[in-house]
Structure 1
Amino acid sequence: MSAHKAIIEWQRESATFEYAEYNRNHHWHFDSITIEASSAPGYLGDAELVDPEEAFVASLSSCHMLTFLALASKKGFVVDSYKDKATGVLSKNEEGKLCMTHVTLRPQVVFSGERMPDEAAIARINELAHRECFIANSVKTKISIEAPAT
């Protein structure tokens, strides 16, 4: 078991605390870095900053990637690059509550070396990475993987 920490810090910058007036910008502190964040633009946030919905998608994508890389390495494949154009859908669930209902991962992986995986091997690694990703195992969101054919 391991513990993971984040410090989230917000300070009012508006004269009033009316819903349409107060600032949404805040900071996420992790170890030695700070990330400027805000709410999504649809919730009066700053579109230039990362929002919790984007961070949720990034967290799932990052965990999948790191698990994929570990599995590929253990199987003797060499990965040169990995890029994922992941998307998330915010909509109402069965109870009528807004939530991230679906995240689609689109990993594009470039391999090199003498041992190259075929499409079936890549699909198996993606499937296992999804099953082993502890962030994916922590959420109810439907997660799809659309890996392009090689």
Structure 2
Amino acid sequence: MPGEHRYALTATWTGNRGTGTSGYRDYDRAVTLAVAGKPDVLASADTPFRGDGSRWNPEDMLLASLSECHLLSYLHACVVRGVVVTSYVDDAAGVMRQEGNGGRFESVTLHPRVTVADASMVADAIAAHDDAHEWCFIASSMAFPVHHEAEVVVG
């Protein structure tokens, strides 16, 4: 598993309304994201940036990447620690600040709610979030803090 891993996708703008980018309001922000062998993702800009709110936007996808990476790293950490997870739901939230024509994410906070099989597993289930944070490739690539505020219950 160590070593270099490569990823590729094709992003195709599908928002030409007939006059291309002749004006700021003259084109749609529709994009199709394709990865070989996977379903296409219909994407756009976020609504405040004249996008289609029914489609995924880059900010949604960044948040989703962080949330899923933590989840998958967390499940592995729990296996290593002998914790049996029976449920995991994360309500992730991010803060982005727009500055002129640019901007940046200031932070993301993950709010995982985890259910474990036995009360004796709670302490290790909580500690496994630190492992997951360290192991998540996406979080370690960010130039802003990624926090987690976890809740662990016994089910």
TM-score (norm 1): 0.88
Alignment of 1:14-53 (within 5 A): 14-16=17-19, 17=21, 18-32=23-37, 33-53=39-59
Instruction: Give unmatched runs, 5+ long, in structure 2.
Output: none
- List 4+ stretches of structure 1 deviating above 4 A: none
Residue 75 of structure 1, aligned match among 66, 71, 81: 81
Instruction: Give unmatched runs, 5+ long, in structure 1.
Output: none
Deviations 1:73-131 (CA, angstroms, capped at 9, x unpaired) = 121111112111101111158xx95011111100111112x57422x323311111111
| Mapped partners of 1:140, 1:19: distance in 2 | 30
| Mapped partners of 2:107, 2:152: distance in 1 | 22
Q: Is the 8 A contact 1:101 1:142 kept in 2?
A: yes
Aligned-CA RMSD value = 1.9
| Mapped partners of 1:149, 1:68: distance in 2 | 12
Residue 95 of structure 2, aligned match among 89, 97, 107: 89
Amino acid at match of 2:64: A
1:27 CA displacement: 0.7
Amino acid at match of 2:10: I
TM-score (norm 2): 0.86
Deviations 1:42-80 (CA, angstroms, capped at 9, x unpaired) = 100000111000000000111000000001012111111
Amino acid at match of 1:137: S
Amino acid at match of 1:31: A
Partner SS state of residue 27, structure 2: coil
Whether 1:6 aligns to 2:9 is yes
Identity, % of aligned positions: 29
Deviations 1:9-65 (CA, angstroms, capped at 9, x unpaired) = 113422332112211011111232201000000100000111000000000111000
Residue 100 of structure 1, aligned match among 100, 105, 108: 105
